[in-house]
C-alpha cells in the first residue's frame, strides 16, 4: 500500500471513489451523492490542487485508489491554529487492513509540520463505532455531540466532534489555588501564530 498526496491528475479516480462512498454510506458525509454526481471531473481536479491549506491523501493498492481523506487548515487569521480532517473513506473491499489508520496517521504527521497549528478536529456519525474507535485510538477525544445533525433518507443521525491537540502546542495552564488560568508566555518567547 502506498499513501501519497493526490494531485489534479488523480481527479477521475478520486471522483469515482468519493461517489462510491456517498452512495454506499450517505450518513457518513455532509455532501450527498446527488450533489456530487452533478460535478464534473474538473471540479474534483480543482479540489486536488495543492494549496498551503488543503492536503488530500490517497491510499493505493497497486494503481487502484482505495482510500482518501483531506486535511484542511482554517484560513482565517483567528482560526489558523485549527485544521480538520474530512471526507475519509476506505473501499469496503479493503477495510480492516489498516488503510484508514495509515491515512489518519499521514494527516496527523502532516499537521505536525505546520507552524502554528495546535488542534486537529474530525467529526463522525455517532453510530459509526468502528470509525469512532479508530479516531480515539489515534489520540482524538470527543468534545461535543450534535443531536440530529444529518437527515438522510428520512432518518436523523447525531454527530460526534473530536479533537486532537498536537504535542507541545496545547494551551499552557497553571493553577492558582482552585482557579486554573492560561499561562502567559515568558518574555523573549514568541507566542504569535507566525513563530
The Cα 51–Cα 133 span in angstroms is 30
Give tens-digit pLDDT for 28-66: 888 889 899 999 999 999 999 999 899 999 999 999 999
Q: Where are the domains of the chain?
A: 2-182
The model's confidence at residue 194, banded by pLDDT at 50, 70 and 90, is very low
Buried b (16+ CB within 10 A) or exposed e, 128-156: beebbebbeebebeeeeeeeebbeeeeee
The model's confidence at residue 195, banded by pLDDT at 50, 70 and 90, is very low
Which grid coordinates are listed for 109? 504527521
Give tens-digit pLDDT for 69-89: 999 999 898 989 999 999 999
The Cα 58–Cα 51 span in angstroms is 16
- Pair 53, 72: CB distance under 8 Å: yes
List beta partners, residue 60: 2, 65
pLDDT of residue 178: 52
Which grid coordinates are listed for 11? 481527479
Sheet with strand 82-90: strands edge to edge = 2-5, 54-61, 64-73, 82-90, 119-125, 155-165, 141-152
The Cα 114–Cα 109 span in angstroms is 9
CATH no., domain 2-182: 3.40.630.30
Mean pLDDT of 178-190: 47
Backbone angles phi, psi at 16, to 5 degrees: -60, -45
- Strands (E) across the chain are located at 2-5, 54-61, 64-73, 82-90, 119-125, 141-152, 155-165, 173-176, 179-182
Give tens-digit pLDDT for 133-176: 999 999 999 999 999 989 899 999 999 999 999 987 555 444 44
List beta partners, residue 159: 125, 146
Amino acid at each position: 500500500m502506498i499513501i501519497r498526496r493526490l494531485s489534479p491528475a488523480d481527479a477521475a479516480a478520486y471522483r469515482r471513489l468519493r461517489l462510491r462512498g456517498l452512495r454506499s454510506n450517505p450518513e457518513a458525509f455532509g455532501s450527498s451523492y446527488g450533489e456530487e454526481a452533478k460535478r464534473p471531473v474538473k471540479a474534483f481536479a480543482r479540489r486536488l490542487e495543492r494549496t498551503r491549506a488543503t492536503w488530500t491523501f490517497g491510499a493505493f493498492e497497486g494503481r487502484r485508489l482505495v482510500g482518501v481523506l483531506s486535511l484542511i487548515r482554517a484560513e482565517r487569521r483567528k482560526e489558523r491554529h485549527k485544521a480538520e480532517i474530512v471526507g475519509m473513506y476506505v473501499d469496503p473491499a479493503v477495510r480492516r487492513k489498516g488503510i484508514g489508520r495509515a491515512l489518519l496517521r499521514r494527516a496527523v504527521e502532516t499537521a505536525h509540520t505546520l507552524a502554528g497549528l495546535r488542534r486537529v478536529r474530525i467529526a463522525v456519525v455517532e453510530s459509526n463505532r468502528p470509525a469512532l474507535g479508530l479516531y480515539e485510538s489515534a489520540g482524538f477525544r470527543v468534545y461535543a455531540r450534535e443531536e440530529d445533525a444529518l437527515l438522510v433518507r428520512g432518518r436523523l443521525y447525531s454527530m460526534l466532534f473530536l479533537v486532537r491537540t498536537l504535542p507541545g502546542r496545547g494551551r499552557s495552564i497553571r493553577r492558582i489555588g482552585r482557579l486554573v488560568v492560561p499561562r502567559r508566555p515568558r518574555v523573549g518567547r514568541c507566542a504569535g501564530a507566525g513563530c
